[in-house]
Amino acid sequence: MAHSPSQPQSDATSSEVKPANFLRHIVEADLAAGTHASRRWCGHPGSGPEQQAGAPDPARIRTRFPPEPNGYLHFGHAKSILLNFGLARDYGGVCHLRFDDTNPEKEEQEYVDAIIDSVHWLGGDWTVNGVEHLYHASDYFDFMYQAAESLIQAGHAYVDSQSAEEMRANRGTLTEPGRDSPYRDRGAAESLDLFRRMKAGEFPDGSHVLRAKIDMTAPNINLRDPAIYRIRHAEHHRTGDRFCVYPMYTFAHPIEDALENITHSICTLEFEDQRPFYDWLLERLAEAGLLVRPLPRQYEFSRLNLTYVVLSKRKLIQLVEEKHVAGWDDPRMPTLVGARRRGFTPEGFQMFAERIGVTKSDSLIDISVLEECQREHLNETAPRRIAVLDPLKLVLTNVAADHEELCEAPNHPQKPEWGKRQVPFSRELWIEREDFAEDPPKGYFRLYPPGATPAGDPRPGNRVRLRYGFVIECTGCEKDAAGNVVAVHAELLPDSKSGTPGADNYKVKGNIHWVSARHAYQSEVRLYDRLFSMPAPGARRMGDDAGDPEGLERNFLDDLNSNSVQTIVAQLEPALKDAAPEDRFQFERHGYFVADRVDSRPGAPLFNRAVTLKDSWSKGK
């Protein structure tokens, strides 16, 4: 089991200080008060009596991450995963991975597999002491059905045969109470008979629904006899056609939590108004002897909203299906599979989650906060390499054609213990096109040929240092028929090699990177940028059709960034040829890159840009 502080309150002062938040305070208070200490666990999810027959629950708390397998996980889910698995880890608990698969439509095995991979990748671990806590809500259908029958028998539920429209009309509004259904006082025996026939498949979809019997005048609309079971003649991806009645989410979720002995059921704020029903339902089932107290408690936090992305599954599915991106794992997608291909790290997400914290107030976080966390982690962990992304040939005219020597480059400037590597040097090199200017603008310190000053005096070609190599002096350039520069010429100063005595006597302002043309590894590099060019894709902008009704959205696809990916052929230092998929590097002066885990072949990696070295968006790109 994970580390469990004997005095939970001391957690904030332990060596691994985690930022406090209201949920950690709740957990600490519950542990101190022993709120959940009497729970027993039979080794697997089960009813109250089954759990009672087990040993004291070895998990001090139980949390869960309950995705619906109807899409891939996105950055918002990362917040929930890190929160739930993090609480369990820090307080001697267990976090369950539960597939909330009670809706027969839209759920697929492909999503289940991808979710498992992504939660693992982020560091979520549901195997504790060799026991796997991976569950499927659909395994609880039998219990849920029995719970529904028991509610009917106790007079807490009835079958309503109104049409959907009638039900809607009788629900009332925020300011008006609802009206009782004419079927509300149907006897338990009649409701039970109808419910069994619903299950037996005698009725079409929508003809009857089972409702909890609470209070049609309750100020909280969620307590106005909510629907708890409906008829759906649909195949379920795990239970097939065994059922044609399915529980509603609001009925299923509390039961799933209770069967799994969850102590702290953490969800997003939209569910705050559902909490009274959550408690009502579990109390009724405890009264009926199906569950045992202490019951799970629900807590809400604000969901993650981020600029420059969309986090709704519906919109993400649309991006994939309409091929605005190459797939769910397109490195521009705000999905966890996309982030992984992009070169983002789990540690970067962890840093982000800690930085934004957990609160109950809605907020919109700037995507640059996430990018900066990724950058910080990559800066610490990514070895440095040299890459020329926009190659221009440099010929050192005083170096012999067959000359070859090695220069030493540090693997990380702040980590001498990472050592140095050798990079080959020869007469012909690749440099960045922007490191040469035939006509240098004012203040340009890189390569330019001999010419004349504005006053007409002769001006020598400029000197720069080839990073980790020699100082060179530009002597001219070659052009093609169209006048484009095709090669730069320079002479090497032989006694200027970095690391040799006297090298520092040369004072030059420019320092450019290079790779030996003969040794370079030529490869495809994808320069990714934000998928959307607007902070709130699809939101109405100031001055948009003022006469339109409030709340009308523009099409979020209109805000796609037309320049979100650029594929180039780059010249890379030879060592990069051996990069394994998912190896991450800083390409000096360019940013952080990862060897693509999908398209790379052994000995032929392709690279994706994760983030640039600096945030170029905040400066009004």
Q: Using CB under 6 A, list all residues that contact ligand ATP.
A: 66-68, 76-77, 79-80, 267-268, 303-304, 311-313
Q: By rule CB under 5 A, what count of residues binds Mg ion?
A: 1
- DSSP SS3 for 466: strand
Contacts of residue 534, Cβ cutoff 8 Å, sequence gap at least 6 = 308, 541, 559
The closest residue (CB) to Mg ion is 68
Min separation Cβ 556 and ligand ATP, Å: 14
Question: Looking at beta carbons only, is 68 or 582 nearer to ligand ATP?
Answer: 68
Contacts of residue 582, Cβ cutoff 8 Å, sequence gap at least 6 = 340, 594, 595, 597
Min separation Cβ 583 and ligand ATP, Å: 30
| Contacted by 312, from ligand ATP, Mg ion, none: CB < 5 to 8 Å by type | ligand ATP
Q: Which of 106, 179, 230, 303 is catalytic?
A: 303
Applying the rule CB under 5 A, the residues between 29 and 68 that interact with Mg ion are 68
| Contacted by 469, from ligand ATP, Mg ion, none: CB < 5 to 8 Å by type | none
Active site residue 601: no
| Contacted by 331, from Mg ion, ligand ATP, none: CB < 5 to 8 Å by type | none
Look at strands 391-396 and 127-128 and give their pairing. unpaired
Look at strands 305-306 and 364-365 and give their pairing. parallel
DSSP codes, 173-184:
-SSS-----TTT
Q: Which of 68, 347, 376, 582 is catalytic?
A: 68
* Beta strand residue intervals within 412-455, DSSP E: 420-426, 428-432, 451-452
Q: Which of 40, 179, 232, 313 is catalytic?
A: 313
Min separation Cβ 249 and Mg ion, Å: 7
| Contacted by 304, from ligand ATP, Mg ion, none: CB < 5 to 8 Å by type | ligand ATP
Phi, psi torsion values for 521, nearest 5 degrees:
-100, 115
| Contacted by 334, from ligand ATP, Mg ion, none: CB < 5 to 8 Å by type | none
Tokens of 475: 């002597």
Tell me how far CA of residue 564 lies from CA of 108, 200, 374, 448, 560, in angstroms.
30, 53, 19, 32, 8
Min separation Cβ 75 and ligand ATP, Å: 7
Question: Looking at beta carbons only, is 95 or 295 nearer to ligand ATP?
Answer: 95
Question: Looking at beta carbons only, is 39 or 275 nearer to Mg ion?
Answer: 275
Q: CA-CA-CA-CA torsion for 562, 563, 568, 574, nearest 10 degrees?
A: -140
Question: Looking at beta carbons only, is 288 or 311 nearer to ligand ATP?
Answer: 311
Question: Looking at beta carbons only, is 365 or 437 nearer to ligand ATP?
Answer: 365
Question: Looking at beta carbons only, is 107 or 573 nearer to ligand ATP?
Answer: 107
Instruction: Decide if 311 contacts 74 (C-beta within 8 A).
Output: yes
Distance CA 291, CA 50 (A): 9
Residue with tokens 């629907």: 227
Residue with tokens 């004349």: 452
Amino acid present at 574: P
318: nearest Cα among 80, 515, 556: 556
Min separation Cβ 321 and ligand ATP, Å: 15
Min separation Cβ 74 and ligand ATP, Å: 7
| Contacted by 80, from Mg ion, ligand ATP, none: CB < 5 to 8 Å by type | ligand ATP
Min separation Cβ 294 and ligand ATP, Å: 21
Distance CA 271, CA 250 (A): 9
- H or E segment to which residue 510 belongs: strand 510-512
Distance CA 329, CA 597 (A): 10
The closest residue (CB) to ligand ATP is 76
Active site residue 313: yes
Instruction: Decide if 382 contacts 391 (C-beta within 8 A).
Output: no
| Contacted by 464, from ligand ATP, Mg ion, none: CB < 5 to 8 Å by type | none
Per-residue contact string for residues 67-106; x = within reach of Mg ion by CB under 5 A? -x--------------------------------------
Provide the annotated active-site residues.
68, 303, 313
Give the footprint of Mg ion on this chain (CB under 5 A): 68
